[in-house]
Amino acid sequence: MRDNWTETTLGQIAVFYNGKAYKQQQLLEEGKYRVLRVGNFFSNGNWYWSDLELDKNKYCDTGDLLYAWSASFGPRIWSEEKVIYHYHIWKIEENLLKVEKKFLYFWLEDDVQRMKRDAGTGSIMMHITKGDIEVRQINLPPIAEQKRIVDVVSSVDAYIDALQQHVAAARAARKAVLHELLSIGGNDWAETTLGELCEIYQPETISKAQMNDAAPYIVYGANGPVGHFSRFNHEEPEVVVTCRGATCGVVNMTPPNCWITGNAMVVRPRDERSTKGFLFWALQTSVDVSATISGSAQPQITRTGLAPSKIQVPPIAEQKRIVEIVSSIEDVIQATERAVVEAKNLRSGLLSDLLSGEHEIPVSYDELLGAA
């Protein structure tokens, strides 16, 4: 830590306010204020409401720094309208003479990772008490250095956000191009059914107990790798449709030499009328796979339900052209997604380094990239 940095505690530089505790019957389907619970804090879009008029510190508004401390935990700067925040969330009021809000947010974000490492687990099913958080030690630079750190980390965040926007735009472009290519049709396009064009089947499922992390072959489940096994049941990549669970209907292409389980429906061309590459993209665009899903408690797709689905099949040369065009866009998407991962890893290390007080603060993000 540098000589001009101060070692203090969070309780010395900020006040942590407890939210409002609710009984289930006090949570309304509609009302004056939304009630911000931990689920809403992270991802849950289902809200409860309240008509209660409370002390001002039981509300949070745009720009307030919050911290969820039970089960899923961590900081967030609230960007929406005024809400009542639940007991499992703190509102943090920083001492502006000692700490910048965004600096404190970044420090708390990094601190979550430290707590997980100290706990010896990557799980987020943890909690921290108000007493615990108030005595956590923080190395605090002068306000001017705090602002420089905030500027550098924020520039990385802006770069990551720009990359993610590029990914979203490329995905939208891929979808539009694919829809246009598969809508052309022509006298030489044949209409048939998936059952007639393809072999459709569910492979044998193996249990988790049969898997072994040290085994050489990937086990491909409902929507991706779920473990490893000593054998593979498919030598070539296969087009598969998730046929059970919440992701029912998702289309994937498996890697070669893997064990595909019965949670994924294999859809394999019977002959040379179609390529796997074309089938992979067609199932995501011109075949309404979601219409074949049955069951509400446990969504599923069956072979008999999927087989009658109609599909337009162009000549092989046209299929290859379509796959080549779409794959070129997919290459851009994957390259940009890799850049996002690299930037996030860089940001994580950078944040920890800057907050330690043991490294020079880069003047700009370009300087940071030049040193990486």
Whole-prediction pTM: 0.80
Residue 50: the pLDDT is 95
Q: Are residues 91 and 30 in the same domain?
A: yes
Residue written as tokens 């446990």? 298
Same domain? For 112 and 198 the reply is no
Residue where a domain stops, chosen among 140, 174, 205: 140
Whether 13 and 84 share a structural domain: yes
- Identify the pLDDT of residue 31: 93
CB atoms under 10 Å from CB of 198, counted, come to 25
Do 220 and 278 fall within a single domain?
Answer: yes
Predicted pLDDT at 369: 54
Is 369 inside a domain boundary? no
Does residue 148 belong to any structural domain of this protein?
A: no
**pLDDT given for residue 181 in this prediction:** 93
Determine, yes or no, domain membership for 157. no
Residue 319 domain flag = no
The residue among 294, 313, 332 that closes a domain is 313
Residue 127 shares a structural domain with residue 200: no
Q: Is residue 362 in a domain?
A: no
The radius of gyration computed from the CA coordinates of the chain, to the nearest angstrom, equals 26
Same domain, 16 and 111: yes
In a domain, 10, yes or no: yes
pLDDT at 124: 47
Instruction: Give me the domain span that covers residue 116.
Output: 6-140
Q: Is residue 58 part of a domain?
A: yes
pLDDT digits (tens, 9 = 90+) for 41-87: 887 788 999 999 999 999 999 999 999 998 778 999 999 999 999 99
**pLDDT, position 372:** 47
What pLDDT sits at residue 210?
Answer: 95
User: Which pLDDT value is given to residue 289?
Assistant: 85
Give the residue among 266, 363, 281 at the shortest CA–CA distance from 319.
281
pLDDT the model gives residue 366: 59
- What CATH number corresponds to the domain at position 10? 3.90.220.20
Within a domain: 261: yes
Half-sphere exposure of 254 (CA within 13 A, CB side): 32
List of long-range contacts for 128-135, beta carbons under 8 Å, 24+ apart: 128/69, 128/73, 129/69, 130/16, 130/18, 130/69, 130/90, 133/10, 133/11, 133/16, 133/67, 133/69, 133/90, 134/9, 134/10, 134/11, 134/16, 135/9, 135/10, 135/11
Residue ranges in the chain modelled with pLDDT below 50: 122-124, 371-372
Looking at the structure of the chain, the number of domains it has is: 2
Domain boundary (296, 313, 330) is at: 313
Q: Do residues 177 and 234 make contact, with C-beta atoms less than 8 angstroms apart?
A: no
pLDDT at 194: 95
